[in-house]
Structure 1
């Protein structure tokens, strides 16, 4: 990947070529978004604007045939790259990602309303079997409320997935930038990622309470993503501080792949508790922090 990153940074022509071709190839939109983020992070939006325009054109073509994903991910990663370049802090980026994810959900709901309705209908038909194993049966009012939440929740899940793809693309672009110009810089930034208590409380409340109302159901899965990433950053940071090795991280990701329904809320809860107590500061040895200036990546 380093060789590709070096090629992208050779000049505007090379960057434009990579961003546009990757955007045009199915399932490579994330690479286009990461390459665009790299250019914006290093050279700024004004220098990256021609690259952005040529990268957006294939994404617009995909959108015209019904696939919004390339356009949403590329545009979102580019927008968040501008903010990250200005602030050199991941916490504001995660906060901004929430309204971005809501915008994604609304756009996908508008374009994919009929498929979402069909999927919701299929889920409604399966609900009796899905709920049969519960200790108590839902009454008609509760079941009607649950069915009314299906479409907003599905749209919110799709928005959250697109939001996560844009964030991951931005992280890839930032890691390329660090590898080329500031080795270890992205690792340090990510290990220090921590949400403020107020933000963590708000996100957790939206995640837990949102499904109770159809107006907020769409927001619930979207609000969980910043907590998830902050929790993963916490685990990476602790492993780094303790020198535990990558085996612990591999085990976490393997568990996440197989028992996500258990690991996801646990990681979110860890991020919430860390926002209150800042575990990494308590574990860090006393003395000079030795933190590098993260702006050197820009």
Structure 2
């Protein structure tokens, strides 16, 4: 992967080739977004504009063909990259990702209504089959079914929100690999939400489902920052305790099984700062991707 980053940073032609070429292939839309994010992080918005002029063409074509994800992830990643470049704060990045998620929800609701309806219909049929197999009247599942269908656009938008953050993570990793080896690891392990931010996100997760249809979609969007903060906590604790890489495998296995617990631990860490209590004073300064 470092070789890809090195090729991207050789010049505008090489960067344009990767960004545009990846955008043409929908399965590589993440590479297009990460490459554009790297250029923005390293060289600024003025250099990335010339590349975007060409990258928007295939992304807009995919939107016209019914796949707006390519353009939304590309644009969302660049917004987050600019936030990180301007503030140097992953907390701000994660908070802005929630705003992006809200925008994505509205875009999907308007431009992908048929896709959402198709998925909703599959969910209705699934509930009917489950009710038939369990000999329970389908009416008893009406409330649960309605809740899942109402929150569906939020879940779809949160997946794009996650992709935007992951593309920025890759771009930042590339930047550090080229110009400050090891800097990204320090930066990622230091991610910790402020108590007020973490509690506000937790309230969003808990209260949005009971606040009515217009707000129910916020729940999955508010989960994303807590999820990444929880991952950072896990990486930080493994590093501080000098544990083997096996424990990172356990961490990601736990994420797949009990992801909500990881989010809750991120909230608790914001209050009690587990890493700060365990870490010894090293005198290390902040890592901003380039030292």
Q: Determine if the TM-score, normalized by the shorter chain, exceeds 0.5.
A: yes
8 A contact 1:148–1:214 mirrored in 2: no
Q: How far off is 1:148 after superposition?
A: 3.6
Q: How far off is 1:131 after superposition?
A: 6.8
Label 1:214 to 1:132 Cα distance change in 2 as closer, same or farther (>3 A): farther
Q: Distance in 2 between matches of 1:82 and 1:38?
A: 10
Q: How far off is 1:114 after superposition?
A: 2.3
Q: 1:192 aligns with which of 190, 193, 197?
A: 190
Q: Distance in 2 between matches of 1:83 and 1:173?
A: 13
The residue number in structure 2 matching 1:270 is: 265
The residue number in structure 2 matching 1:177 is: 175
Q: Distance in 2 between matches of 1:133 and 1:179?
A: 54
The question of 1:155 aligning with 2:153 is answered yes
The residue number in structure 2 matching 1:70 is: 70
Q: Distance in 2 between matches of 1:230 and 1:133?
A: 40
Normalising by structure 2, we get a TM-score of: 0.92
Q: How far off is 1:177 after superposition?
A: 0.2
Q: How far off is 1:16 after superposition?
A: 0.8
Structure 2 residue runs without a partner (length 5+): none
Q: Cα RMSD over matched residues?
A: 2.2
What are the within-5 Å matches in structure 2 for residues 47-66 of structure 1? 47-66=47-66
Q: How far off is 1:281 after superposition?
A: 0.6
Normalising by structure 1, we get a TM-score of: 0.90
Structure 1 residue runs without a partner (length 5+): none
The residue number in structure 1 matching 2:250 is: 251
Aligned residues: 289
Q: How far off is 1:127 after superposition?
A: 3.0
Per-residue CA deviations over 1:185-232 (Å, capped at 9, x if unaligned) read 111110000111111111111112212221211111111010000000
Q: Distance in 2 between matches of 1:131 and 1:187?
A: 48
